[in-house]
Structures are given as C-alpha cells and as structure tokens.
Structure 1
Amino acid sequence: MITRIGLLGGAGIAGAAILRPVRRRDDVVVTAVASRSHSEVYASEHGIERAYADYAALLADPEVDLVYNALPPSMHADWTVAALRAGKDVLCEKPFTMNAAQARRVVAAATETGRRVIEAFHDHYHPLSAWVRQAVTEGILGRVHHAEAVFTGANPYAPGTLRHEPELGGGALMDLGCYPVHWLRSIFPGTPTVRTATATRNPAGADMSMRAELTFPGDVAATMTASMADDVTLKSALTLTGERGTLTVDNVVFPSNGHSIRLEVDGVPHVSTVAGRTTYDHQLEAVLAALRTGSPLPTEGDDPVANMAAIDAIYAAAGFARTSWT
C-alpha cells in the first residue's frame, strides 16, 4: 500500500520533515504541492508530480491521502479543517493552532469526519524521548520534584516575518517553547498550573523570550524557557531532579545530530546515548503505521488541545492580550 502525501505550503521545513524521509521509504510518495507563489518551481526542484497554486485544489485531488500542513500557524486551523472535510488525514506542523479554542475545533472536525489529525512533534517519536519517559515511569530517579526544560535559538527580529509577527503565530513560546511545554506534559500527566511567566517583546509585540514557572500534579515544579534573542545559542535540554539524583538530556529536538544523556543516581554518574534515525524518519514511520492500523498516536486527540491550553495559560500569565481567534 502506497500512501500519497500532499504538501500544503512549499515550506522549507518540508525537506527535512517529509521529502527526505519519504525518499528513504518505498511505501509512501509525495504526489502534490500547493503554494500561492512558487508551486511549479518547488515541484520541479523536488520531483513532485503535481503543483497547485491554490490550496483548495490540492485538497480536491483524489490522489492525495495525507496532507502535511506547513502553512503559518495562523492558517493551521482553517486549512486543517478543510483538509479533514475533504476526506484527507492531516499531519499538522507545530504549533497546532493559534490557541486551544481553535485546537478544539480542529479535533472536533476530525471526530466528525472520521479522519485523523496529528501534531508534528517529531522529537516525541525518537527513541531518546521514549527512553526519558520510561526512565521517569520506572522511577530511576525516585520521585521527580523539579524539571527544567529549555529551547533557545537566535533569530534576530525581522519585521513582517513568520516567527516575529503575533498575527501569524510568531513568538518564542509558539515557535520554540511549544516543544519544552510538550516534553513536560508528556512526562508529567495532568494539567499544569502556571505560577508566573515573564517575557521580552519585539517591536511587533511578539515574545522574543519567555520563561514560565509551572506546577504539575504530584507537586512537581518545572521551569520552561524559550528564547529567540540575538545573544542565545542553539540549545534544547531537559533536566530532571529526583530523590535519588539528576538526569540531563542535551539536544532533545534533534538527537540524531548528536546528543548526550547524563544520569547521576545515588552519586554514581553515567553518560550514554540512544541509537536512532532522524526524528522525522521516526515520526513518518509512526504516522504511516497508525493510519494503516488505526492505532492512536500520542500527539493527536486531546494532546494538541492540552498543549495549546498550556501555551494560552503561559501567555495570559505573562500579560499578553492575544487576539481571540476562533
């Protein structure tokens, strides 16, 4: 069985997230791309059979089974719902939507249509992330009482660009912070309470950095930091502190580029890594298997709604009067 993918938006991320992983498999193909400005060029460059200048035309293509939505976050909800109603399953880039209200609408559309919509938290499907979750579940550290999750990467302010305009879904929390929020939620079940949140803002009003103090059920204190400031380095790290020791994982987002697990339990240090392919290869494998077997995935259903709800709560605590998109 060959799964046929249509790219909604000729985004740069599609190369790593879809095009290259697809080329490494023989059970999936990218058949179409839709872009309002350069679909023909994009299709030619990447060997894609059909190019559309209109998103709706791609959704009407009967030879597209799965839509990869890489449009700006402000367009995720409407076009994902449209794809579901057109009979397509959807892999939607993070952040899932602009807020939790939109996320609920998208998930409701999936339920109504009987189609699947999956948020593309690719790192979640890598064996490294699974190892961390299992380590906590098995109690290697004893009871975990504190966590620190960080994702930073310099992205100088440029007016009108996707990652810096609030109306497009820009901001450090939306672009980067959604990852550490998801790590924490995946490890510590339940709804977090946002104790405090502070941010710096760019001239357009989006957050250049965000730091939030959270509490998860079980009295777990957590700190989430995201920053696109000019002076930060690329870092995605998670540190868990428990009764018996500490676990620190470096490069949670792209572990195939090199990562480390530093574990100290009862005073004994240990350094290791976890074997795996790129996060995107693991994600594509999981999505294809789930669509063929009907098995649920951890980044669909209630999960994207809960992640957006946590993001909404952090913005509210930081004093952001965000537009009430519906």
Structure 2
Amino acid sequence: MTQLAIGVLGAARIVPMALVRPAARVPEAVVAAIAARDPQRAGRFAAKHGIATVHDNYQALLDDPQIDAVYNPLPNALHAEWTLKAIAAGKHVLCEKPFTSNAAQAREVADAAAAAGLVVMEAFHYRYHPLAARMREIVDSGELGTVRSIEVAMCFPLPSFGDIRYSYPLGGGALMDAGCYALNCLRMLGDGTPQVRRAQAKLRGADIDRAMTAELRFPDGSAGRITASMWSGKVLDISVRVLGDAGELKVLNFVAPHLYHRLSVRTAAVRRHERVRGEHTYTYQLRAFTDAVLRGGPVLTSAEDAVVTMGLIDEIYRVAGMRLRGA
C-alpha cells in the first residue's frame, strides 16, 4: 500500500477542515468515499469536495474493498458502534473525540483494535502540532522546578441549544466536548494518571452539563484543574497554566496554534515569549495517521490512551452527581 484510501462516515461540518483540506497537503492520503444518512446530502458533499465514490449507507462504505481506513466524525453516541464495525470490516480508524460515550465502550474498542492489529487513533489534532511537544519539553526540562499545579481551560460560547452537543442521547455535554480536550492536555503535561477529587457542573436540563469544573490530584502530589464550558460566565478561555516552585508556563490557544498562540515562561532568571511555528494541526494529524498505517509510525492518541481519558470523564460525572453518557 502506497496511498491510504479513506472513507468518511457522515457529511459532518468538521470533515472539510479535519480531513478534506489536510488530504490535499498529504499526498499519501486520499478521501476516496463518503456515506451519510441522507444519500443526496452525501452526493452533494462529494461533488463539492471531489470525492469519487458515494455509498448509500455506512455499512456499504465499510464493505468497500477499496477503502483502507475510515474517518468517524459521527455524534459521540455513535463513535463506539461504528468504530467497532469498521474494525470488524478490517479498516483502520481515525475517530473524533471524545472516543466513545464512556470508559466501558472505550475498553471494548481498544481491545478490538489490538486483537485486529489495526491503527485506531483518537482525533486530538493539537497533540501532533510542535507546540504540544514544546509544552511538554519545557515541563520536563526542570526550568519550572517541581510542578505544583496544572490548570487547563477549554471554554467557548455555544448558545445554540438545539445543537447535538446539548443532547444526552447523542452523548453531549461540556465535559464530553470541551472537557475531553482539557483532560487530554492535563494528562499530557502531568505525571501519571490523576484522581478526581471534586467536580461541579452547571446544567442545561437534568443530564447536560453546559459547564464543568473538576479538581484532580496526580500521583506525585501535584494538583490538576480543568474548566470546560459551552455556555457560562467564562465565555472564551482556551489556555494552560503550569506552576512550578521555580517558575510558570502559560499558553494561550493550545488547541489551534496555527491560527494564533502565545507561550510565555516566567522564572526568577528569565521572562520570555515563544512562537512555535507549524502547519495546520489537522495536517499534522492526518500525516501521523497515514504514517502509522503505512509504516507503523507512532500514535500519540491511541485507543489505549483514550480508555484512560474516558475513565476520567466517567469519574468526573459520577463525582458531579450526574449520569454517565451512554448509561
């Protein structure tokens, strides 16, 4: 195999940015087919974006022998079902985050991927940009001293309350949508898997968190805190703060650094700002996925890693007194 033929499950709004445009910059990947609940919509999408094949339904796409891998941007509640079906069909999978509705589903998917020997990657695109590696490099360098606390915020306004992200049956909630980013980043910068100490939700109805805060503790004693919201008093905040006993790291917009970001380090000896240049985060992600499938390259956001994040999401919902997604 010299080129990865990717099929898309659903004509979601994210597909052009997350896959179609990056594929134009990654010669080893081609978006070869699409299927949607509405075949006419899939046809219009394919015509607009130059996708050669339109299938009548998701299973027909999975059964297509010309397709090597699947991109799964379906609603959260459908991630596990269709990722498992893709694995059963022998396809590699790039699955949007959050990986599944809960940790039990994530474990089932991870086990299936391992048994099949397939690449199944969670689509935390920011992890593949050089900024993420630079953040971890600064923490590991000792420049900040012993890390005392890590705070990650992922807050943005989504007042469209009919959006699927406010639907419990579809696996919605601020923790699922924004909070999965915050938890993933917290884990990337921390040492080991943290434990949830406290959690508090602001609700939109009985089962949907429009905002969530959680306090965690890492095995080394350092504190972690996430703030996630789709609608709250904190309208827009996408940031990281790592406080050590010798200094502080702050990063603004760790999720889309190709658009704009600001990294600053403050210690007793220095105050500096850095700019970590690079391509679009989704281009890095697609290149990494293609490399993993074609050459066995590294996967930073594996199915096994997703199991840990989904376990933390489950525990935060429990501590906040809420039902798990997919319950």
Q: Is the 8 A contact 2:191 2:220 kept in 1?
A: no
Partner of residue 183 from structure 2, selected from 168, 181, 184: 181
Q: Identity of aligned pairs, percent?
A: 43
Residue in structure 2 matched with residue 22 of structure 1 by the alignment: 23
- Listed as ranges, the gaps of 5+ residues in structure 2 are none
After superposition, the C-alpha distances for 1:71-128 in whole angstroms (9 at most, x for unaligned) are 0010000100100110100000000000000000001111221211100000011100
Which SS does the other structure have where 1:168 is aligned? Answer: coil
Which of 128, 133, 137 is 2:136 aligned to? 133
Q: Which residue identity is paired with 1:260?
A: R
The equivalent residue for 2:251 is 249
SS in 2 for 1:322: coil
1:32 maps to what in 2? 33
Residue aligned with 1:167, SS:
coil
- Secondary structure at 1:233's aligned position in 2? coil
Report if the CA contact (8 A) 1:165-1:204 is conserved.
Answer: no
**Structure 1 counterpart SS, 2:30:** strand
* Residue pair 2:171, 2:326 contacting (<8 A) in 1 also: no
The residue type equivalent to 2:294 in the other structure is R
- 1:133-158 alpha-carbon deviations (Å, 9 max, x no partner): 11111212011111110000101152
Matches within 5 A, 1:1-326: 1-37=2-38, 38-159=41-162, 161-203=163-205, 205-229=207-231, 231-322=233-324, 325=327
Contact 1:84 1:110 in 2 (8 A): yes
Letter in 2 for 1:252: F
1:190, CA displacement in angstroms?
Answer: 2.1
- Number of equivalenced pairs: 324
Q: Which has the higher contact order (CA 8 A, sep 6+)?
A: 2
Gaps of 5+ in 1: none
- Alpha-carbon shift at residue 204 of structure 1 (Å): 5.5
CA distance in 1 between counterparts of 2:147 and 2:114 reads 36
SS in 1 for 2:313: helix
- SS state at 1:211 partner: strand
1:154-199 deviation digits (Å, cap 9, x = unpaired): 011523x311011111110000010010011112232211111001
Across the aligned residues of Structure 1 and Structure 2, the Cα RMSD in angstroms comes to: 1.3
Tell me how far apart the structure 1 counterparts of residues 165 and 267 of structure 2 sit (CA, whole Å): 40
Is the 2:128–2:284 contact (alpha carbons within 8 Å) kept by the matching residues of 1?
A: yes
Query: TM-score, normalization: structure 1?
Result: 0.96
Report SS of the residue matched to 1:40: helix
CA distance in 1, matches of 2:43, 2:206: 33
Q: Is the 8 A contact 1:72 1:168 kept in 2?
A: yes
Which amino acid letter does the alignment assign opposite residue 197 of structure 2? R
3-state DSSP class of the match of 1:103?
Answer: helix
Distance 2:160 2:212 in 1: 15
Q: Displacement of 1:52 after TM fit?
A: 1.7
Q: Measure, in 1, the Cα distance between the counterparts of 2:198 and 2:256.
A: 29
Cα distance in 1 for residues equivalent to 2:135 and 2:321: 33
Quick check: 221-230 or 141-150, which moved more? 221-230
String of CA shifts for 1:10-52, please: whole Å, max 9, x gaps: 1111111100010123221101011012111111111111112
| Aligned-partner residue type, residue 320 of structure 1 | M
Amino acid at match of 1:29: V
Provide the secondary structure at the position in 2 that maps to 1:219.
coil
* Preserved CA contact (<8 Å) 2:150 2:190: no
Work out the CA distance in 2 between the residues paired with 1:75 and 1:189. 32
SS of alignment partner, residue 257 of structure 1:
coil
TM-score w.r.t. structure 2 length? 0.96
- How much has 1:324 moved relative to structure 2? 5.2
**Farther-moved stretch of structure 1 (237-246 vs 134-143):** 134-143
| CA distance in structure 1 between the partners assigned to 2:221 and 2:106 by the alignment | 28
Contact 1:262 1:269 in 2 (8 A): yes
Shift of 1:292: 1.6
* Runs ≥4 residues deviating over 4 A: none
> What do the CA deviations read for 1:209-262 (whole angstroms, capped 9, x no partner)?
000011011111011000111654333100000011110000000001110111
More moved, 232-241 vs 57-66: 232-241
